[in-house]
């Protein structure tokens, strides 16, 4: 603590910090998604876990069956690629399905996709034929791949919207925010759930998240608030959130869109301050799913602002505390490496119950430098789970 008159602190949090609150792990999400159990496709073209009122009798949901078979076929190829190095998860499935969709629609040129398609086509060809429960007689491959990405997104959304069971494991956040010697606390999360917002609100901690005061029951995105609204604590959701929506006035176009948080959940009655009805574009939340495809979005829409502030915040931070993140995002990893080497006073503290396992699983940009950072006193590891770690432990590591 003697090195700093006041601490400018940044947290980088991944899915591991949500599991202790009752949220499903990545492996549990993947298992449910690949089974299709309890999932139905509504007439609004979205997937839900509850049976909608217009589902008749026990007619099987042909869409779900088709997509699940397609994803399980993709999983075989992904499993073979990783050769038991790590289990295939829903982010991998989304990435591969998205590559097929982008290639077939011309969104992104990718010549290596076609040989992959040729390999799996004999097995998925039956999935391109409609059945008696569908109005569509024939599917195009890009339609099936696009349906698969929508299915993954909707299932993940449905599983992450629930309220957290417990948030006591996040006392480390609460105590750091209330520490008078901490000048700034910037919380960067890769999670889509709302656990952190609920935690901060529960403890009466004021924070800025880039969304303004409600206007007709909608909070609208305004990144200028991060600079103009004084706040010790700021929250940045780098991969979006289950409660963010792209909202467009009915009859409007792309240029009239805004991103907002409808406080009562999106409904057809949602209106803007001008009294215009708003519809949620694509019927989906603003979230990023996948692996390497996420980086393609870091320079577009709301993510430009979020990652600008991620970079700017790290430039001014003395300390970065990382918890629940597996170092799988190459874009995030690159920024961490650049920041560590930008100044001699930059320090990382990693909280993890099995640090050696984390080191082995991390991408090379991190794992190859791990031991050197420790010897240079740039990296300190606290070998405990977050629920067993106190802010006092972080303070003593400085």
Each residue of 337-352: pLDDT tens digit? 999 999 988 999 999 9
Rg (CA), the chain: 22
Query: Cβ of 299: how many Cβ atoms within 10 Å?
Result: 10
**Phi and psi torsions of 297, nearest 5°:** -100, -5
Residues 132 and 188 in one domain: no
- CA–CA separation, 53 vs 35, rounded Å? 22
Query: Model-level pTM?
Result: 0.92
Mean of per-residue pLDDT scores for the chain: 90
- Residue 255 domain flag: no
Q: What is the pLDDT of residue 290?
A: 94
Residues 179 and 151 in one domain: no
Picking from 160, 180, 202, the residue at the C-terminal end of a domain is 160
Q: What percent of the chain has pLDDT over 70?
A: 95
For 209-241, how does the pLDDT look when each residue is reduced to its tens digit (9 = 90+)? 999 999 999 999 999 999 887 799 999 999 999
Residues 119 and 183 in one domain: no
Residues 207 and 179 in one domain: yes
Residue 59 has pLDDT above 70, yes or no: no
Residue with tokens 């574009």: 281
Picking from 116, 139, 160, the residue at the C-terminal end of a domain is 160
Residues 344 and 230 in one domain: yes
Alpha helices (H) in the chain, listed in sequence order: 16-19, 26-35, 62-82, 90-105, 113-124, 141-160, 171-178, 195-202, 225-228, 301-316, 330-340, 355-361, 364-367, 370-375, 391-396
Residues 175 and 138 in one domain: no
Residues 67 and 173 in one domain: no
- Residue 308 domain flag: yes
- Residue 272 domain flag: no
For 255-310, how does the pLDDT look when each residue is reduced to its tens digit (9 = 90+)? 889 999 999 877 677 888 888 899 888 778 899 999 999 998 999 899 999 999 99
- Residue 310 domain flag: yes
Exposure letters 25-46 (e unless 16+ CB within 10 A, then b): ebeebbebbbebeebbbbeeeb
Residue 312 has pLDDT above 90, yes or no: yes
Residues 171 and 197 in one domain: yes
Look up the CATH number of the domain holding residue 205. Answer: 3.40.50.1220
- Residue 60 domain flag: yes
- Residue 342 domain flag: yes
Q: What is the pLDDT of residue 133?
A: 66
Residues 176 and 118 in one domain: no
Number of residues that this document lists for the chain = 398
Give burial (CB, 10 Å; 0-12/13-18/19+) of 119: exposed
Residues 135 and 175 in one domain: no
Q: What is the pLDDT of residue 55?
A: 47
Residue 372 has pLDDT above 80, yes or no: yes
Picking from 131, 160, 189, the residue at the C-terminal end of a domain is 160
- CA–CA separation, 361 vs 338, rounded Å? 20
- Residue 258 domain flag: no
Is the distance from CB of 148 to CB of 13 less than 8 angstroms? no
Residues 180 and 311 in one domain: yes
| Bridge partner residues of 285 (DSSP) | 245
The total number of structural domains in the chain stands at 2
- Residue 337 domain flag: yes
Residues 355 and 308 in one domain: yes
Band (pLDDT 50/70/90 cuts) for residue 335 is very high
Residue 35 sits in which domain range? Answer: 26-160
């Amino acid at each position: 603590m003697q090195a700093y008159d006041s601490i400018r602190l940044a947290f980088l949090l991944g899915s591991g910090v949500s599991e202790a609150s009752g949220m499903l792990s990545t492996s549990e999400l993947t298992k449910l998604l690949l089974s299709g159990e309890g999932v139905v496709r509504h007439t609004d073209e979205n997937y839900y876990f509850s049976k909608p009122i217009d589902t008749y009798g026990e007619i099987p949901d042909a869409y779900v069956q088709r997509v699940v078979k397609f994803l399980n076929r993709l999983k075989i190829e992904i499993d073979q690629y990783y050769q038991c190095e790590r289990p295939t998860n829903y982010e991998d499935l989304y990435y591969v399905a998205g590559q097929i969709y982008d290639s077939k629609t011309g969104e992104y040129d990718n010549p290596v996709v076609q040989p992959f398609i040729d390999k799996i086509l004999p097995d998925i060809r039956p999935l391109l034929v409609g059945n008696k429960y569908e109005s569509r007689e024939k599917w195009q491959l890009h339609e099936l791949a696009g349906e698969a990405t929508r299915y993954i997104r909707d299932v993940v959304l449905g599983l992450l919207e629930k309220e957290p069971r417990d948030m006591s494991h996040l006392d480390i956040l609460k105590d750091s925010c209330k520490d008078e010697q901490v000048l700034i606390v910037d919380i960067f999360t890769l999670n889509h759930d709302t656990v952190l917002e609920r935690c901060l609100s529960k403890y009466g901690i004021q924070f800025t998240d880039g969304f303004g005061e409600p206007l007709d029951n909608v909070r609208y995105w305004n990144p200028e608030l991060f600079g103009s609204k004084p706040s010790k604590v700021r929250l940045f959701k780098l991969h979006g959130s289950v409660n963010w929506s792209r909202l467009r006035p009915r009859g409007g176009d792309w240029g009239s869109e805004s991103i907002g948080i409808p406080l009562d959940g999106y409904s057809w009655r949602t209106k803007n301050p001008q009294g215009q009805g708003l519809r949620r574009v694509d019927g989906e939340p603003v979230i990023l799913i996948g692996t390497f495809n996420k980086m393609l979005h870091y320079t577009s829409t709301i993510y430009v602002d979020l990652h600008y502030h991620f970079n700017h915040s790290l430039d001014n931070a003395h300390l970065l505390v990382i918890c629940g993140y597996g170092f799988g995002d190459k874009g995030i990893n690159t920024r961490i490496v650049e920041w560590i080497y930008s100044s001699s006073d930059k320090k990382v503290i990693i909280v993890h119950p099995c640090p050696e396992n984390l080191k082995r699983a991390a991408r090379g940009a991190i794992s190859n430098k791990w031991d050197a950072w420790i010897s240079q006193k740039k990296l300190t590891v606290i070998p405990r789970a977050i629920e067993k770690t106190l802010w006092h432990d972080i303070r003593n590591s400085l």
